[in-house]
Amino acid sequence: MSGHSKWHNIQGRKNAQDAKRGKIFQKIAHDLYVAAKAGGADPDMNASLRLVVEKAKAANMPKENIQRALDKASGANGAKFEEVTYEGYGTAGVAVLVEASTDNINRTVSSVRNSFKHAGGALGTSGSVAFHFDRRGYLAIDRSAFPDLDEDTVLEAALEAGAEDMQTSDDVFEIYTEPADFQAVESALTEAGYVFEDAEVTMIAQNPMDILEEDREKLDKLVDELEDNEDVLAVYTTAD
């Protein structure tokens, strides 16, 4: 893994997202959907899903929102959704990857294309930016919440659980896994007593790039508009 820390991107957007309850619910809905698709929609049989459901309840997410995300993943009530990925470029040549789940492809692609146009970007073709990202399982332990944890102990536990790598900073232990190993690693570490600030299968930019503040404002506008789209599950960029 590179020296880039996903944690800083999480923390960098946290204050803005905390001001928008809808953003929080969307992130949780995304995690519910991904966990249910990967391991089934029954929290009693799916440790990853159980963790996300607990987060949803802690955030006071309405029960109907939780159930909607689970129904979307399982196809309950006749729901038929297709998973799609859109690729494009935002300001300053930043690569943007958009994951969505939709029951109307034409509606979704039109909306996503318009969002890129509004922010001065452009929707690209399939494969145009995906190569800039790696899919990884990601687990973050906030060190301020667990000051007694030491790096060697956490690293040993993570590797024994099947993790691929771990990065350590003053703020966080960041554990990376192969996507297929994520649930097993998360379950093993949870059973060992570790608590995660963030846990998900995500896309990690291979070479994050610095951009000017004026370009960042335009990029944030694009990301915000995309995240406001009910069909969009997640948005990833190569901006550091």
The helix/strand/coil state of 215 is helix
C-beta of residue 102 within 8 angstroms of C-beta of residue 108: yes
Residue 16: C-alpha distances to residues 19, 59, 174, 192 (Å): 5, 16, 22, 33
Cα separation, 41 vs 58, whole angstroms: 19
Residue keyed to tokens 């691929």: 164
Q: What's this model's pTM, rounded to 2 decimal places? A: 0.77
Identify the band that residue 206 occupies on the pLDDT scale cut at 50, 70 and 90.
Answer: very high
Q: How far is CA 92 from the centre of its chain?
A: 23
Task: Identify the residue whose tokens are 């698709």.
Answer: 37
Is residue 89 within 8 Å of residue 121, measured between CB atoms? yes
**Per-residue confidence (pLDDT) for residue 28, from 0 to 100:** 85
Set out the domains of the chain in order of their start, with CATH numbers.
6-78 (1.10.10.200)
- Average pLDDT of the chain is 87
What is the per-residue burial (b if ≥16 Cβ within 10 Å, else e) of 218-240? bbbbbbbbbbebebbbbbbbbbb
Q: What is the pLDDT of residues 44-102, one digit of tens each?
A: 888 778 888 988 898 889 998 888 888 888 877 666 788 899 999 999 999 999 999 88
- Are 79 and 72 in contact by the 8 Å Cβ rule? The answer is yes
